[in-house]
Amino acid sequence: MSDTLVLVTGGTGFIAQHCMIALLQAGYSVRTTVRDLAREGEVRSHLKVGGVDAGDRLSFVVADLGADQGWREAAAGCSYVMHGASPTPSGDQVHEEDWIRPAVDGNVRVLRAARDAGVKRVVLTSAFGAIGVGHPPMKRPFNETDWSDLGNPDVAPYQKSKTLSERAAWAFMAEEGRGMELTAINPVAVLGPVLGADFSHSIRLVKFLLDGQPACLKINSGFVDVRDVADLHMRAMTHPAAAGERFLAIAGESMWMVELAEVLRSRLGEAASKVPTRVMPNWMARLAAKQNSTMRSAVPLLGINLNATAEKARRMLGWSPRSREDAIVATAESLIQLGLVKGRDLRSK
Query: Looking at the annotation, which residues are catalytic?
Result: 162
List 63's β-bridge partners, or say none.
none
Vertex 182 angle, CA 33 and 119, to 5°: 55
Q: Tell me the C-alpha distance between 100 and 106, whole Å.
A: 10
Q: Tell me the C-alpha distance between 207 and 195, whole Å.
A: 14
Element (H, E) at 183: strand 181-187
Q: Give the closest residue to 256 by CA, choosing from 307, 309, 292, 329.
A: 307
Q: Tell me the C-alpha distance between 305 and 88, whole Å.
A: 26
Q: Tell me the C-alpha distance between 170 and 107, whole Å.
A: 10
Q: Give the closest residue to 205 by CA, choosing from 339, 347, 332.
A: 332
Alpha-carbon distance values, 341 to 31, 275, 291 (Å): 32, 12, 25
List 83's β-bridge partners, or say none.
124
Q: Tell me the C-alpha distance between 249 and 129, whole Å.
A: 12
Q: What is the DSSP track for 64-99?
A: -TTSSTTHHHHHTT-SEEEE-------TT--SHHHH
Q: Determine contact, residues 207/244, Cβ cutoff 8 Å.
A: no
**DSSP letter (8 states) at residue 220:** E
Q: Determine contact, residues 147/130, Cβ cutoff 8 Å.
A: yes
Q: Determine contact, residues 74/6, Cβ cutoff 8 Å.
A: no
